[in-house]
Structure 1
Amino acid sequence: MSEINLTIDGRQVKAEPGMTVLEVARREGIDIPTLCHHEKLEAFGGCRLCMVEVESRGRTSYAVSCLYPVAPDIAVRTRSEKVDKIRKLLVEELMAHAPDAPELVTLAREYGADRNRFAREASFCVLCGLCVRYCDEVKKKNAVSFFDNGAVRQIKFVPEVAKNECWNCQECFAICPTSYAQAAYLLTEALAFPGQHQSVKRATKAAARKRVVIPIAPVPMTA
């Protein structure tokens, strides 16, 4: 199939059919912020920080660029007054959960976000899903997953899987933007093996440092 012509921030670019706006922008060296995107994973669109302005056939809309497929002759703007306002609000919402996450702190400075705009919910998890999706799509282990506690969605490690799969892996720790995954795993380990005092001490310190509230799957580990 022939290449698709479009513009991003006034620059004429070409893209292959099936590419997303985010993929094309990154290939062209155009920065669009993301918190839940990873090159090895299917696009998720959870953080919505990659929101862009798209003009097509005289109409302007706002789209999550990691999910938005390129189309002929669209004009994409990665920064505009409206886009910046949207990102500012999203950063403020995310900082209610993870006020000290380095990437969010940087974005807060760039967009003038108020880290105290929303009441704190000290979970330190922003539900980017990187740990869940990486464990599923790349590692094929499913040792960590989403679960819904009433109206609240949270992340949990599954102890009966984690005890065999996570100790020699821990790859999700490095991609977690808030360090929640590491603290969640340590507390899962500590609570499943209460006799291992060093693990409890380490996990407690990690959780206190990050102000993490950890949900634990109700499946006990066995030695």
Structure 2
Amino acid sequence: MSEIELMIDGKEIVAERGQTVLEVASENGIDIPTHCYKKPYEPAGFCRICVVEVQTSGGKPELQTACTYPAQEGLEVKTNTERVKKSRKLTAELMLARCPDSEAVKELAEEVGVKKTRFSKKNKDCTLCGLCVRACKTVSGDNIITFVGRGPDRKLITPFELSPEECKGCGACAEVCPTKVIEMVEIEEVEEK
């Protein structure tokens, strides 16, 4: 791979072409909060808590998810501007409204300076981060769980909401779940009589 040069928070950094902004920042000791990102799974940018401000040569600064945005030659990245902080706080408030009892969400919200939400609470236990979907696809290759719907109607289900008989019980989904709501139960075969 070839090397590229970019700036993160005013610091000149040399990175490998093909890395994301999050990977480069992390390797250089620059902390960017994440929720739906976990190696080795493909980043998706679903939660949007890892937003940063990026500016290409001659372009306007724009918010992008650090986990999915490719590091590029001459890119300027700012990880802690007022615009970035405001976006992360809004995201944290929305997550806190959706999952007010989740310790992981409370910790993340506190990390970005949010202690409570102004939005009505939904009392859900899943942030819809998609890690379980990506883990299921990557580890088992079976796509046992997936998303359906969009926006506020989005939810996780098994295909056609049927019992996931194809599930191998690998536990990858439970292992990556940041809110720890997925629990592995012992899979027993039911003998036919």
TM-score grouping bracket, smaller chain normalisation = 0.7 to 0.9
Partner of 1:112: 113
Partner of 2:16: 16
Partner of 1:123: 124
Partner of 1:57: 57
Q: Letter of the aligned partner of 1:165 in structure 2?
A: K
| Percent of matched pairs sharing the same residue | 39
Q: Letter of the aligned partner of 1:161 in structure 2?
A: P
Cα deviation per residue 1:139-186 (whole Å; 9 max; x = unaligned)?
2132222123896111124654357522xx22321211112322xx66
Q: Letter of the aligned partner of 1:74 in structure 2?
A: L
Give the TM-score of the pair, scaled to structure 1: 0.74
Range moving further from structure 2, 45-54 or 114-123: 114-123
Structure 2 distance, partners of 1:7, 1:149, is 36
Q: Letter of the aligned partner of 2:138 in structure 1?
A: E
Within 5 A, what are the aligned runs for 1:104-183? 104-148=105-149, 152-157=153-158, 160-162=163-165, 164-166=167-169, 169-182=170-183
Q: Which runs of 5+ in 2 are unaligned?
A: none
Q: Quick one: structure 1 residues 136 and 86, their matched pair in 2 at CA, closer, same or farther if it must change by over 3 Å?
A: same
Q: Quick one: structure 1 residues 77 and 147, their matched pair in 2 at CA, closer, same or farther if it must change by over 3 Å?
A: same
Within 5 A, what are the aligned runs for 1:198-209? none
Range moving further from structure 2, 100-109 or 68-77: 100-109
Deviation of 1:50 after TM superposition, in Å, equals 0.7
Structure 1 distance, partners of 2:89, 2:103, is 16
Deviation of 1:74 after TM superposition, in Å, equals 1.5
Number of positions where the alignment pairs a residue of Structure 1 with one of Structure 2: 187
Partner of 1:215: none
Structure 1 distance, partners of 2:167, 2:104, is 31
Partner of 1:28: 28
Give the TM-score of the pair, scaled to structure 2: 0.84
* Bigger-Rg structure (1/2): 1
Structure 1 distance, partners of 2:48, 2:67, is 9
Is residue 143–residue 165 contact of structure 1 (8 Å, CA) maintained in 2? no
Within 5 A, what are the aligned runs for 1:61-72? 61-72=62-73
Q: Which runs of 5+ in 1 are unaligned?
A: 194-220
RMSD (Å), alpha carbons: 2.6
Structure 1 distance, partners of 2:122, 2:111, is 23
Range moving further from structure 2, 83-92 or 33-42: 33-42
Structure 2 distance, partners of 1:91, 1:74, is 27
Greater helix share, structure number: 1
